[in-house]
Amino acid sequence: MNIRLVLQEGVDLGRKNVFAFIPVLVSSILTWLISLVTVGSSGTQMMQGTPGAMRASMTGMAIGAILTAIISMLAHGMTVLMAGRALDGQPADLKQAFSKTTERIVPLLMASVVVGVLLGIGFMLLVLPGLLIAFFLMFTFVALMVDELGAFESLGRSIQVIKGRLVDCLVFFLVLIALGFVFGLVNLILTRIPVLGVILGMVVWALFAGYSSMLLVIAYRELKGSVATDEAAA
């Protein structure tokens, strides 16, 4: 796999399908609004100091976290789906992507929970186990949305593809980490700008999340084809 060509194809795909960045941007805005409401109300309730107020505060924060997770999950699913359609020469349709993603909500939720738990355990043990889990499961949601596999089938497909092209996948994973570092650094700089920095930060995050999702779809398609060819030859 030629990483430079994959990166360039991702840029071209994003430039021709700007709508594919909208789900993550909307997700960022909604997440920000939810955090404002939950943190603000929770802070007010906690200042009261009563057990009832404390419980209400914790409940509000839990609900906010759940809503944020669901919104982010839907946004990622839509972006992956739209990238897959764009690679097939079809337009990035927001309405169709939302409809298809909601149809896949059960396996998407199951996969999100499994991946989240595994990553949580991995990073609690040490950073390295968490990174290894993230590495081997990075194509899970692409397999789930693009190939319409079940939650556990998607986990297995991701591991299968990566094991078949271990070196290529490792280089690709490191490139994604490097991109995340660069975009994160830009975001950190933007936070120093009052008000406008928050807005620009959400745009930067949408660009990174959308672009990385496109790269995952492009790489998955190419690597899956290579693995299938090798297995057929064997």
- pLDDT 10s digits, 40-86: 555 555 555 566 656 666 776 777 778 888 888 899 999 999 988 88
Check: CB of residue 178 under 8 Å from CB of residue 44: no
Give the per-residue pLDDT at 69.
84
pLDDT over 90, % of the chain: 41
Q: State how far the Cα of 74 lies from the Cα of 72, in Å rounded to an integer.
A: 6
* Longest distance between any two alpha carbons in the chain, whole Å: 70
How far are the Cα atoms of 5, 44, 46, 53, 108 from residue 49, in angstroms, in the given order?
58, 10, 5, 7, 39
What count of other Cβ atoms lies within 10 Å of the Cβ of residue 186?
15
Q: Is the pTM of this model over 0.75?
A: yes
DSSP conformation letters of 173-219 = HHHHHHHHHHHHHHHHHHTTSTTHHHHHHHHHHHHHHHHHHHHHHHH
- For all residues of the chain together, what is the average pLDDT? 85
Helix, strand, coil percentages in the chain from 3-state DSSP, rounded to 5: 90, 0, 10
